[in-house]
Amino acid sequence: GAGVSQSPSNKVTEKGKDVELRCDPISGHTALYWYRQRLGQGLEFLIYFQGNSAPDKSGLPSDRFSAERTGESVSTLTIQRTQQEDSAVYLCASSLVRADSSEKLFFGSGTQLSVL
């Protein structure tokens, strides 16, 4: 497709269950980002992949959160033993990379996660 695709669009889970969120970036985009947006709040950086470099995991809030990316394609964000405070919209974005850092992000529509 032409844009960043995320699935599922909505996920309802029970506290303590594991969830996997998927992101398909735009083809050719070497950079991929995961952000979390809690209701009424701003974007919280989670993790950043750039090509074959080691990912920047500095934003992951706990060891229950992990993410993988295979090459320059699909990424999966996994949340283990979900808690109610994990309820949020999880946004994925991708971009090309330019030396002057001026390249824009293309965002997916997000996955709305609700933990009951």
Partner 1 sequence: GNSVTQMEGPVTLSEEAFLTINCTYTATGYPSLFWYVQYPGEGLQLLLKATKADDKGSNKGFEATYRKETTSFHLEKGSVQVSDSAVYFCALSPSNTGNQFYFGTGTSLTVIP
For residue 87, count CB atoms less than 10 angstroms from its CB and return exposed for 0-12, middle for 13-18, buried for 19 or more.
middle
Percentage helix, strand, coil, to 5, in the chain?
5, 45, 50
> Per-residue b/e over 41-53, b at no fewer than 16 CB within 10 Å?
eeeeebbbbbeee
Out of 7, 11, 43, 64, the residue judged to bind partner 1 by CB under 8 A = 43
For residue 83, give the amino acid letter. Q
Stretch near partner 1 under the rule CB under 8 A, chosen from 13-21, 28-36, 61-69, 70-78:
28-36
Select the span of 13-21, 61-69, 75-83, 98-106 touching partner 1 (CB under 8 A): 98-106
Residues 48-67 that bind partner 1 (CB under 8 A): 48, 50, 53, 56
Is 13 one of the binding residues for partner 1 (CB under 8 A)? Answer: no
Binding site for partner 1 (CB under 8 A): 31, 33, 35, 41-43, 45, 48, 50, 53, 56, 91, 93, 95, 97-98, 100-105, 107-110
